[in-house]
Amino acid sequence: MSLTESRFVIAIDGPAASGKSSTARAVAVALGFRQADSGALYRAATAARLRVGGDSADWSEESVLDAARSVTVHPADGVFEAWVDGSAADAELRGEEVTANVSLVARMQSVREWVNEKMRECAQIGAIVVDGRDMGTAVFPDAALKIWLVADPEVRAHRRSIELLGRIPSDDELARETGELTARDARDARQTQPADDAVHVDTTRLSPAEQVARIVDLARDRIQRSGSAPSPDAGGR
């Protein structure tokens, strides 16, 4: 069995805007693995429930789980995409309304179990990089490599602002984004904890390329130690 066909799991966890998904994607490309973002599934369940309507303060756990039945996972070009009602909805998943309500949904235990099951199904298909908050603790405690990705809140807010605004933020914009991120960190704190055996990577002073290279090096080391056969396409997708 080649490495890409194996159940090799790399788990990347960390707080909001620590660059988990883009890093996980780049690491997956470098190794010829697939990537699956658990946050996208929480977002998709939230988007599906928002489409049903009603004030989120009144959402029952059952109604969210019921709406989540319209969420499906699609393997596309090395990444598992979360679709809602039969089509991709990336802008909606990243939008303000979903972001404002997703922490509420992520605290629902039955929704967490639903996401965890979907993530484990993705990992059955072959070697994978998964990212989120509790991939290395609750979902894949036996992952071959666990990364805890952190960066100072101001640096995360700066990166997120550039992504959202397409330019350098003003001092006020940066302060607002830092406040929002810190509030999200507090809302998600319960499920955002590093595994005891996670390698901590602080990206505050690292470029995206440096952080990807560091994780790919760690992964290659683990792959070598696991004795897995190298995949035919690793490094070239």
Q: Tell me how far, at minimum, the Cβ of 181 lies from ligand DC, in Å.
A: 10
Task: Please provide the DSSP assignment of the chain as one string.
Answer: -BGGGS--EEEEE-STTSSHHHHHHHHHHHHT-EEEEHHHHHHHHHHHHHHH-S-GGG--HHHHHHHGGGEEEEEETTEEEEEETTEE-HHHHHSHHHHHHHHHHHT-HHHHHHHHHHHHHHHHHS-EEEEESSIIIII-TT-SEEEEEE--HHHHHHHHHHHHHSSPPPHHHHHHHHHHHHHHHHHTGGG----TTPEEEE-TT--HHHHHHHHHHHHHHHHHHHTPBPPTTTT--
Q: Tell me how far, at minimum, the Cβ of 66 lies from ligand DC, in Å.
A: 19
Beta carbon nearer to ligand DC, 126 or 132? 132
Beta carbon nearer to ligand DC, 136 or 169? 136
Beta carbon nearer to ligand DC, 19 or 169? 19
Q: Tell me how far, at minimum, the Cβ of 196 lies from ligand DC, in Å.
A: 17
Beta carbon nearer to ligand DC, 144 or 160? 160
Q: Tell me how far, at minimum, the Cβ of 43 lies from ligand DC, in Å.
A: 6
Q: Which residues bind ligand DC (CB under 6 A)?
A: 16, 38-39, 42-43, 102-103, 106, 132-134, 188, 191
Q: Tell me how far, at minimum, the Cβ of 13 lies from ligand DC, in Å.
A: 7
Beta carbon nearer to ligand DC, 70 or 191? 191
